[in-house]
Amino acid sequence: MIVNMLSGATEAEINHVVDRIKECGFQAHLIRGEERTVIGIVGNSDKHRSELEALQSAPGVEELVRISHPFKLAARSCRPEGSVFDLGKGVMIGGPEVIVAAGPCAVESAEQIHASAQSVARAGAKLLRGGAFKPRSSPYSFQGLGREGLQLIREAADANGLLVVSEVMDPSQVEEMLPFVDVMQVGARNMQNYHLLRALGETTKPVLLKRGMSATLEELLLSAEYIMAGGNYKVVLCERGIRTFETYTRNTLDIAAIPVVKQLSHLPIIADPSHGIGRRDKVAAMARASVAAGADGLIIEVHPNPERALSDGAQSLYPDQFAQLMAEIRIIAPAVGRRVADQLTMNANS
Amino acid sequence: MIVNMLSGATEAEINHVVDRIKECGFQAHLIRGEERTVIGIVGNSDKHRSELEALQSAPGVEELVRISHPFKLAARSCRPEGSVFDLGKGVMIGGPEVIVAAGPCAVESAEQIHASAQSVARAGAKLLRGGAFKPRSSPYSFQGLGREGLQLIREAADANGLLVVSEVMDPSQVEEMLPFVDVMQVGARNMQNYHLLRALGETTKPVLLKRGMSATLEELLLSAEYIMAGGNYKVVLCERGIRTFETYTRNTLDIAAIPVVKQLSHLPIIADPSHGIGRRDKVAAMARASVAAGADGLIIEVHPNPERALSDGAQSLYPDQFAQLMAEIRIIAPAVGRRVADQLTMNANS
Amino acid sequence: MIVNMLSGATEAEINHVVDRIKECGFQAHLIRGEERTVIGIVGNSDKHRSELEALQSAPGVEELVRISHPFKLAARSCRPEGSVFDLGKGVMIGGPEVIVAAGPCAVESAEQIHASAQSVARAGAKLLRGGAFKPRSSPYSFQGLGREGLQLIREAADANGLLVVSEVMDPSQVEEMLPFVDVMQVGARNMQNYHLLRALGETTKPVLLKRGMSATLEELLLSAEYIMAGGNYKVVLCERGIRTFETYTRNTLDIAAIPVVKQLSHLPIIADPSHGIGRRDKVAAMARASVAAGADGLIIEVHPNPERALSDGAQSLYPDQFAQLMAEIRIIAPAVGRRVADQLTMNANS
Amino acid sequence: MIVNMLSGATEAEINHVVDRIKECGFQAHLIRGEERTVIGIVGNSDKHRSELEALQSAPGVEELVRISHPFKLAARSCRPEGSVFDLGKGVMIGGPEVIVAAGPCAVESAEQIHASAQSVARAGAKLLRGGAFKPRSSPYSFQGLGREGLQLIREAADANGLLVVSEVMDPSQVEEMLPFVDVMQVGARNMQNYHLLRALGETTKPVLLKRGMSATLEELLLSAEYIMAGGNYKVVLCERGIRTFETYTRNTLDIAAIPVVKQLSHLPIIADPSHGIGRRDKVAAMARASVAAGADGLIIEVHPNPERALSDGAQSLYPDQFAQLMAEIRIIAPAVGRRVADQLTMNANS
C-alpha cells in the first residue's frame, strides 16, 4: 500500500501516518518528491489491515493506493501454467479444447429438454445447461420446475452423453442438487452471496461463477477466492456482460475480461454471449469474438422453439443457428491455438 | 406492451405478431404510421407474458417497449398518500420527521458500541446501526462478531432509547436476529437474493432494503415487491450510491433516486451518504443534499475512533461531526416541510 | 509516479525500469516489499513524461500509478482560500452569495426572452441564460437564432438588470459573441474541444465550463487548465449530470462533484439540475440538494410556456415554480453559511 | 412516438394531450388498456417535433417513447445492401476485405514514420495512421508536429503504397489537411463537434468517425448524419471503447457495437482495439475478437520503439507483434466470409 500525502501536508501529519503504520506492525518508507511526500507501506499483517485503510482520511492524506491484489489462491502466480481440470467424464476445461455448454434458459418439460440435449450434443456441445431454480427480477415470473427440473435435465444429459450445468441460488439447495448436477452455476446476482460461495467451497463439484453485472474483475476473483478458501479449486469464471449506459443491448459483453483474467489468474474463463447481448441475431457474433479473444469455453442458450420459451426466448438460438455457430468457431479456434469438438456424425436412425 | 415493427416489416410478419399476441390471450391494436407499424398489446394474462417477451426477436420486430411497471404492491397507485409506518416504539418513517440511523459499520466491542449509541442518541438519532454479520469482498477481512454482536448492539440501543438496525445476509440468520433487531437491513449485494427477500416477507419486521450497486430503480422496487408479496409491507428503501466511471468517490450517490422513487412508489426512501461517497469529509455534504431532496431519513456511519475502526473507518464521522451535521439538517428540513429531532439536553452528569 | 512491479519481476526487469527512469531525467526510489517491488519516481521533467508513461507495458511492470494531479493552475494549492471573482456588474461568484442563472434553453423570440428575463429577475436570479447557438444531436432539430438571438437576450437582460450567459460552440463564434455576452458557456459536448478552450483562454470573459457527460472530475479540471493556461483565470465549473446505466432520469447529477471539486480546486462550481435530471417535476429537488451540498450557484431552465418551448420544454420550470424554488433555497443556504438574493419587490406598475 | 399516460390519468389530461398532438399537425391514436391509456402519434412534421417532446411533462403523462430512429441517411433502410466505397487507390471498405490501418499514435520524426510505414505495409496494412494534431487532455502534453507531421506521413505513406488517415480537430484545419490526407479522422472527443462535422460534410473525403466515450450508438449515427446531410456519404464508423466502471482497462471495447451498427446502418464499421483496451499485450485479443464479430476493418497503433513513443507507447504494438496479429486474423476472417490482405513478399534488398 502507498499513502499519497497532500502536497501541503505538514511534518506532523506525515509523522502521524508513519506512527500509525508502525503501530499496525508494518514498516514505512518515505519518498520525498518536489511536490509531495509518498509513504510506502511494507510488511504483512492481516490483523491491522482495516486500520491501515482508515488512514485514507487521516489529516494530510490525499489517498491510499493499494498495489497488491487482495486475492491469493486465484492469482496467476499460484499456478503460472494455468489451471486445467476435469468437469466430469474427462471433459477438461482450460486446455486446448474450447468447451461449449448449451441448452435452454430453464427446464420446461421432458420433451423440451430432451430435444435441446439432442441438438446441442450433435453440434458438439459437451454440457447441457438449463435452470431448475430461476432467479427472476419479478416475483410474478416463472420460477422454475425445481427438483423435477433437476431430474429431467439429468436424464436428458445422460441420454446424450452430456454433463449438466445448472444454477444454485441458495445454500439450502446445494445438497439437493449435488446428485443431479456436474457443474454448479452461481448467477450474476449471487456473485457476492458469500454464504452460497462458502457452501460451494465445501463441496468438490466444479463451480461456474458468473461475473456480477457491476463487478470489477478484482471482485470476481475475490468471489472465486471465497470458494477456493474452502478447499474447492475447481472454479470456472464466466464473463456475461456488464451494465453500462448503452441500452440497445441488454448488457455490454466485456470481452477484454478474457485476456485480463488470463493475466491476473490461473482459472479458466468462459463467455456467456446470450446474456451478454440479449438478442438472438447477435449472439453468434459475440460468441465468435469470445473464442477469438481466447475464451476457454462458451455457455449459450439454445431452445427448440424460442418463440414459446418460458424465459429468455428472445436471446435463445434455434438449434440450426447453434450448429452453424459451432462450425464458425471451429474455423476461428486455431487462430488462438485451440480446437472445438467435431459435430457428431448421426446414424440413419437419429 | 408495444411492439415496434421494423420500417420494412412485411404484412406476413405483422400478421404473425398479431396472431402470436392473440394466442397468448391478449388483444392487438395496430397503428400504421407513414414509416412503420406499431402494435399495442392490451389485456392481462400473466401466464403467457414470457411468450410475449419472446416476440422481441420475431421476424420484422425492431423492439418491444414495455409501458407498464412490473411492480404492483410497491406502486404509488396502491397508496397514493404515501406509506407511513412504525419502526418500533412509535418511531414513524415516511411522516413529517426525518429519521436518522447512525452508528459504526460493525459492532466491535461493548465499549465501542455503547460510546457510539450514547453520542448518536444525544445528537438526535433514533436508530443505532451496526453490523454483526459483515459481507466483505475478501474472505480474509473481519466478518463480524455474530451473535455476540447482536447482543451488544441491543444492550447499547436499549440503554440509550434507540432502535436497532442491523444487516441480515442469509435466510438462515433471520430467526436468530429477530429478537435483537428492530429493522432488518438487506445490503446492496443482496438486493436480488430472492430467498432472503422471501424469508423477510414472511416476518412482520420492518426491512431496510438497500439499492444494489448497479440496480435500476425499477429493479429496486421489484425487490421490494418480493418482500411485500409475502405480506410484509414495512419496507424502507435506501439509496446508497451506484457504480459509475467516476472513481474519485467510492460510489455515485444518485440523489435523484429520492424524488423519482417518491413518484413511482408509496414506500419511504432514505439515503446512506457514508457508502455513497466513502470519504468522511464529504459525508455531511451528501447527507444535507439528501434531506434537501426530500429523503425520509438518513443512515450514517459514526465511530468513536474512526482511525482504529475495523471496517469503513475512512468514511465514519467523528461524534462531533455527526452532531454538527444534525444541526445543519435541522435548518434544511423546513425547506421541504419536514423536521429533525432535537438534540437531547444532557444533565450535569452526562 | 509509482511503478508497481509484478510480484515475479526479475532483477533485470527492475533494473531496466530504473535505467529508463534515470534516462528520462528522474530519480528512482526502490521499496522492496515481501511480495513485490515498488519504484517511486521523483523529479520534474515535462519533456520525457510520455516516455515514463510507456513504462506501463515494460516487461515486469504490473501498472503505473500516478500520484500527483496533472492540473496546476486549477489546483486548490494555487489559491487555498478559493477564487472569488466578478462575473460583471459586481455579481461575485465563489463568495457568500449563491448566484442563480435562469432562463430558457434557447432564445426563441423577443417576447419569450423578455418574459423569461422579467420573471427570473423578480425571483432573484442574477444572470439570464439562453442559447443563440444550439448544439443538437440531430441535424434536423432547431439550431438557434444565431446573432439575432444574441441581440435579443442582451436587450432582455439589460432591461431587467441581469447578466447574460450563453453558449459558444466554436472558436469562430467567440469574436461575434463578446459584445453581447457576460459569461461564455462551454457545453458538455465541447468540454474537450481544445481549440475552443484555447480561444476562450485568450479573452478576459468569465467562462462557464460544463462537465462532459462522461468526464472525470480530473478531466474537467484539466479542461479548465487549458483556459487558464492562456491567462484567463475566471473559470466557473458546472456539474450537469453524468451518463450512467440508470435511464429513468436523463442523466445522473453527481452532486458529490461539488464537495470533491471544492477540495481539489479553488474554482467556483455550480450545478445545472435541469439537464442533470431532465424532468421538470424533479428539478427543484436537485437544485435544493445542490445548494445543500455547497454549490456556488445554479443554472436553471425557466420558460414562460414550457409546453411550447422549441427545446428542452420537458425540463423547463414554469416561472412560479422557479420563484417557489428560490424561496426554498433561501431557507437552505444558511445551513452552509451562504445566502440567496431576495425576491424583488415589485411596484404597482410591473 | 408513443405517449404513455399514467395509470390514473384523467379524461381531461388525455384530451389535452390529444389536442396538443393535433395542434402540432399529427394524428393521435388511442389504445385504452385495462390499466392505462397509450396514445400513438402518427404523421410527419419536423416543425413541431420539439413541442411534441415537451408533452413528456404534460399533466397525466408518464413518459414519451420514441419508436423511430432519428437518423435517416445513415439508416440501413437507405441502402439495405450496405455501403461499399473507395477510400482511395481502390481500397474498398465495406466489402469482402477486412481493411487495416496501422501506425504510430503521433508522427514524431521522418525516421519514425518511415519505419512504421514500411513495417505495417509489409504485414498487410492498407492505411498508415499517425496524428499531426493531437488532442491531449493536458495542455502540457506533446501536441503534435502540425503541418510538418502531415508532410512526413504523406511521404512515408506514398513510399510504401499506403493511404493516410489522420485526425482533424477543428474546422480551421480542414483545408490545410486535404492535400495530405486520404481519410479524415474525427476523434472520440469531437464526435459531437457539430461545426467540424458540418465542415467535413462539405468535402468529398472519406471520414473516419470515432464513437465518443459515452456516446450511444444512436448518437454515433446521428453524428454520421451531420456529415451525410452535407452531401458526403463516405463515413466509416469506429468503435473505440466506452467508459464504464471497470478501470483495469483504459476503456471497455463494446464489440457488440459491430453487429448492432450492421443492423441499424449501412455504413462500414471498424474497431480500434488499441484505444479500446489501452494495454499492448491485450490489443491482439481485442483485434481478433473484432474481426470475428464482423468488423469491416481495424485501426491499430504500431510503433517501431513503443517504449520511447511520445504518446500512447503503452498500447502500441511492436512491428513483429503486428505481423503476428495479421497472420491470426487471416485465419479468422473466413469464418465471417471475409479475407485479409496477404503479407508482402520482400525482395532481397528490403
pLDDT in tens, chain A (350 residues): 889 898 889 999 999 999 999 988 888 988 888 778 889 888 776 667 777 888 887 888 888 888 778 888 999 989 999 999 999 999 999 999 999 999 999 999 999 999 999 999 999 999 999 999 988 877 887 788 999 999 999 999 999 999 999 999 999 999 999 999 999 999 999 999 999 999 999 999 999 999 999 999 999 999 999 999 999 999 999 999 999 988 888 899 999 999 999 999 999 999 999 998 888 999 999 999 999 999 999 999 999 999 888 888 889 999 999 999 999 999 999 999 999 999 887 654 44
Write the pLDDT tens digit of every residue in C92-104. 999 999 999 999 9
Contact B330, B322 (CB under 8 A): no
Contact C310, D50 (CB under 8 A): yes
* Sign, CA torsion B240/B243/B247/B252: negative
Of the candidates A236, A204, A202, A200, the one whose C-alpha atom is nearest the C-alpha of residue A220 is: A236
The predicted pLDDT at position A13 comes to 94
Given a cut of 90, is residue D70 above it in pLDDT?
Answer: no
Find the residue in A nearest to C214 (Cα): A245
The predicted pLDDT at position B45 comes to 62
**CA–CA gap between residue A238 and residue A242 (Å, rounded):** 12
Band of residue D347 on the pLDDT scale cut at 50, 70, 90:
low
Of the candidates B315, B349, B308, B339, the one whose C-alpha atom is nearest the C-alpha of residue B126 is: B339
The secondary element (H helix, E strand) that includes residue B16 is helix B11-23
Compute the nearest-CA separation of D9 from chain A (Å): 25
The predicted pLDDT at position A135 comes to 82
Largest CA distance in chain D: 86
- Which of the two residues, C349 and C217, has the higher pLDDT score? C217
Residue range D291-306: mean pLDDT, rounded: 97
Strand partners, A236: A208
Q: Which three cell numbers stand for residue C315?
A: 425540463
- Which of the two residues, D8 and B83, has the higher pLDDT score? B83
Q: Do C252 and B248 touch (CB under 8 A)?
A: no
Given a cut of 60, is residue D220 above it in pLDDT?
Answer: yes
Write the pLDDT tens digit of every residue in A189-200. 999 999 999 999
Find the residue in C nearest to B329 (Cα): C335
Q: Name which of D192, D202, D312 to mutate to probe chain C: the one with the most chain C Cβ atoms within 10 A of its Cβ.
A: D192
Contact A57, A63 (CB under 8 A): no
Count of helix runs (H) and strand runs (E) in chain A: 11, 15
The predicted pLDDT at position B14 comes to 94
**What's the mean pLDDT when you consider all of chain D?**
92
Compute the nearest-CA separation of B93 from chain D (Å): 26
| Residue type present at position A317 | L
Given a cut of 80, is residue D105 above it in pLDDT?
Answer: yes
The predicted pLDDT at position C59 comes to 87
Band of residue D138 on the pLDDT scale cut at 50, 70, 90:
confident
**CA–CA gap between residue A188 and residue A214 (Å, rounded):** 9
Of the candidates B252, B75, B272, the one whose C-alpha atom is nearest the C-alpha of residue B165 is: B272
Contacts of B141 (CB under 8 A, 6+ apart): A49, A50, B134, B311
> In chain C, which residues have their Cβ closer than 8 Å to the Cβ of A266?
none
* Sign, CA torsion D68/D74/D79/D81: negative
| Residue type present at position B212 | G
The predicted pLDDT at position D207 comes to 98
Q: Do B43 and D32 touch (CB under 8 A)?
A: no
- Does B42 contact D at CB distance below 8 Å? yes
Blockwise average pLDDT, block size 10, chain B, 350 residues: 87 93 88 85 72 83 82 92 97 98 96 98 98 84 90 98 97 95 97 95 97 94 95 97 88 96 96 91 96 98 90 90 98 98 67
Find the residue in C nearest to A7 (Cα): C77
Compute the nearest-CA separation of C176 from chain B (Å): 36
> In chain A, which residues have their Cβ closer than 8 Å to the Cβ of B279?
56-57
Phi, psi of D189 (to 5 degrees): -70, -20
**CA–CA gap between residue C190 and residue C201 (Å, rounded):** 14
Q: What angle do CA A122, A123, A129 make, to 5 degrees?
A: 90
The whole-angstrom distance between residue B184's C-alpha and the CA centroid of its chain comes to: 12
Compute the nearest-CA separation of B216 from chain C (Å): 6
Strand residues in chain C grouped as ranges (E): 2-5, 27-32, 37-42, 61-65, 85-86, 92-93, 97-103, 127-129, 163-167, 183-186, 207-210, 235-239, 269-271, 297-301, 339-340
Q: Name which of B186, B193, B221 to mutate to probe chain A: the one with the most chain A Cβ atoms within 10 A of its Cβ.
A: B193
Judge if pTM exceeds 0.90. yes
How far apart, in Å, do the first and last CA atoms of chain D sit?
62
Q: Do C248 and B260 touch (CB under 8 A)?
A: yes
Q: Among residues 130-159 of chain D, which lie with CB inside 8 Å of chain C?
A: 135-142
Write the pLDDT tens digit of every residue in A285-314. 999 999 999 999 999 999 999 988 888 888
Q: Do B246 and C217 touch (CB under 8 A)?
A: yes
Find the residue in D nearest to A219 (Cα): D246
Q: Which three cell numbers stand for residue A266?
A: 490461473
Residue range C143-165: mean pLDDT, rounded: 96
Band of residue C348 on the pLDDT scale cut at 50, 70, 90:
very low
| Residue type present at position A51 | E
Contact C215, C187 (CB under 8 A): no
**CA–CA gap between residue C232 and residue C208 (Å, rounded):** 12
User: Which residue of B64, B213, B307 is in closest CB contact with A58?
Assistant: B307
Locate cell 402494435: which residue?
B39
Find the residue in C nearest to D192 (Cα): C189
State whether ipTM is beyond 0.90. yes
Q: Which three cell numbers stand for residue B204?
A: 412482520
**What's the mean pLDDT when you consider all of chain B?**
92
The predicted pLDDT at position A348 comes to 42
Find the residue in D nearest to C196 (Cα): D170
Strand residues in chain A grouped as ranges (E): 2-5, 27-32, 37-42, 61-65, 85-86, 92-93, 97-103, 127-129, 163-167, 183-186, 207-210, 235-239, 269-271, 297-301, 339-340
**CA–CA gap between residue A10 and residue A59 (Å, rounded):** 9
Strands C27-32, A61-65: pairing kind = unpaired
Write the burial class of residue C231 (CB in 10 Å: 0-12 exposed, 13-18 middle, 19+ buried).
exposed
The predicted pLDDT at position D349 comes to 45
Contact A296, A269 (CB under 8 A): yes
Chains with 3 or more CB pairs under 8 A to chain D: A, B, C
**DSSP line for B15-71:** HHHHHHHHHTT-EEEEEE-SS-EEEEEE---GGGHHHHHHGGGSTTEEEEE--S-S-
Write the pLDDT tens digit of every residue in C14-69. 999 999 999 888 889 888 887 788 898 887 766 667 778 888 878 888 888 887 78
Q: Do A285 and D294 touch (CB under 8 A)?
A: yes
- Does C81 contact A at CB distance below 8 Å? no
**CA–CA gap between residue C268 and residue C245 (Å, rounded):** 29
Write the pLDDT tens digit of every residue in D233-270. 999 999 999 999 888 888 999 999 999 999 999 999 99
Of the candidates B299, B295, B300, the one whose C-alpha atom is nearest the C-alpha of residue B335 is: B295
**CA–CA gap between residue A123 and residue A266 (Å, rounded):** 29
